[in-house]
Chain A
Amino acid sequence: MKNLKYLYLVFSAIIISCKGDSSGFASSVSPNLGSGIGGSLARFTISKNHLYIVDSRSLKVFNISDAANPIDLGKTTINAFAETIFPFKDNLLVGTRTGMYIFNLNQPEKPTQIGVFQHFASCDPVVAEGNYAYVTLRNGTPCQRGQNQLDVLDISQLTNPRLVKSVPMINPHGLGLRDNILFVCEGDNGLKVFDRTNPVEIKQTQFLKDVKSIDVIPLQNRLIVTGKDGIYQYDFNAKSEMNLLSKMAVEL
């Protein structure tokens, strides 16, 4: 614990930088300056003054107006096994084992289900931008009956999400998007990069087969990948060119 002094400085810096930082990825993804960004497999998310958590069949709400004193506001039941949560405008897109559920946050303390897109049992994180959501469906434990594919959903009407395209995958896990680029983790099989200039007719531009990946966080021109072997960081550009910056290896 020699580094305590250093740590203190660092943590103070976190607070200062976050309070003062009104630019950059954090504010573009999440309106509250004091929060960051999670990957697509996250079960926790913050929208304004509320912390939302999905857990098995419930969507829990905590009031965090006073950050130090979260208050349990109860839960909303979901008719499916929920695994991931993605904030989208004033809504939450919840990935479950049997479909994507959309909850509206007009009453932030009481999310209301307004739409659902159901499918066969699969694991499925979701990300979205504009009028489209991307959902990966994965076979394998704990979702043994599923297909392996990426579904593109038209969510221009949130009350009526529609499947517009399915792209076969090997064994997709987390995913992330930044502008016209979509990243899809293929588990032990690698990491795929797609161009989504046309958001429906996505085109694979890269397949990094040696990068075991389970989830990604795309920042401005930078990608953080988490996987069995460690944490990878890449630079990327609009042409989907990827340049490895570092790899933090896992201790075996």
Chain B
Amino acid sequence: MVKECKLLPKFYMRKLLFFAGIFLLNSCQTDDTAKDEKVMGYKPIYVSYSEIEKVSIEAARKLKNPAKIYVRGEYLFVNEVNEGVHVIYNADPKFPKPIAFIKIPGNNDIELKDNVMYADNGLDLIAIDIASPQSVKILKRIKDAFPYPNYPPFQNVKFECADTSKGYVVKWEFVELTNPKCNR
């Protein structure tokens, strides 16, 4: 290979570079003039900041998108991705009985200490009193404990850039996008 390179006349090398240059320039131009590129990618779905703070206890409901689980004593807690926590009475594991759903928008993780549940609620960490189920009492809200979800949890994808002014991104929908500006 080394020998061949040495034998290649300078003239051809220059010509080669010239054409390579033209080719590169052309390809750039093609990109610039391309109109409305339609590609599959991720679109952020927002929930307003005021809406996301609405935490409540609701009647038990069927499982959907079950994710992380947590056990304490006879109770099983099942996170529904970004929606909240199913509370299941599990004293008899042959017949687990869903008893309530704690609606916590933007929730994925919980921990418990005594009668307090710690949960992520969008950007915030909240401490909820679970002793009085008639109404969920938020004991404390620590603002901006978590970073804003700027991008979908995938790599090598295109997506519509998230706009923090529109609210919190609760999910990313895989749809056809026109000229998405963001990628990762």
Contacts and interface: CB of A to CB of B under 8 A. Distances in A.
Interface of A: 1, 3-4, 6-8, 10-15, 17-19, 21, 24-26, 32, 34-39, 41-46, 51, 53, 55-56, 60, 62, 64, 67-70, 72, 141-144, 214-215, 217, 219, 222, 224, 226-228, 230-231, 233, 245-246, 248-251
Interface in B38-82: 57-60, 62-78
A142 B131 CA distance: 38
A142 B111 contact: no
Nearest to B75: A14
Given A36-B73, A67-B115, A7 B147 contact: no
A38 B70 contact: yes
Given A248-B88, A251-B63, A141 B125 contact: no
Given A38-B70, A44-B111, A251-B63, A68 B127 contact: yes
Contacts of B66: 226-228, 230-231, 250
24 contacts: A1-B58, A11-B115, A14-B75, A18-B72, A18-B73, A34-B112, A35-B72, A35-B111, A36-B112, A38-B69, A39-B70, A46-B113, A51-B118, A64-B118, A68-B127, A69-B127, A142-B155, A214-B67, A230-B66, A231-B66, A231-B69, A248-B98, A251-B63, A251-B64
Contacts of A231: 63, 66, 69, 76, 78, 88, 96
Contacts of A64: 113, 116, 118
B114 A36 contact: no
Contact of A26 (B73, B95, B118, B134): B73
Nearest to B80: A250
A114 B131 CA distance: 39
B177 interface: no
Contact of B154 (A18, A142, A251): A142
Nearest to B73: A17
Given A226-B66, A245-B94, A248-B96, A14 B78 contact: no
Contacts of B88: 231, 248
B139 A69 contact: yes
Interface residues of B, number: 60
Given A46-B111, A222-B93, A246-B96, A68 B69 contact: no
B37 to A, nearest CB: 22
B132 interface: yes
B114 A4 contact: no
B99 interface: yes
A64 to B, nearest CB: 6
Contacts of A226: 66-69, 78
Q: Which 7 A-B pairs have the closest CB atoms?
A: A36-B72, A251-B62, A34-B114, A7-B133, A67-B116, A44-B111, A233-B93
Contacts of A19: 114
Nearest to B111: A44
Chain A CB within 10 Å — which of B68, B90, B95, B153 has the most?
B68
Contact of B130 (A14, A32, A69, A222): A14
Interface in B84-121: 88-90, 93-96, 98-100, 108-116, 118, 120
Contacts of A42: 68, 70, 109, 111
A250 B63 contact: yes
Given A69-B139, A231-B63, A245-B93, A14 B68 contact: no
A147 B161 CA distance: 30
Given A68-B127, A217-B71, A44 B118 contact: yes
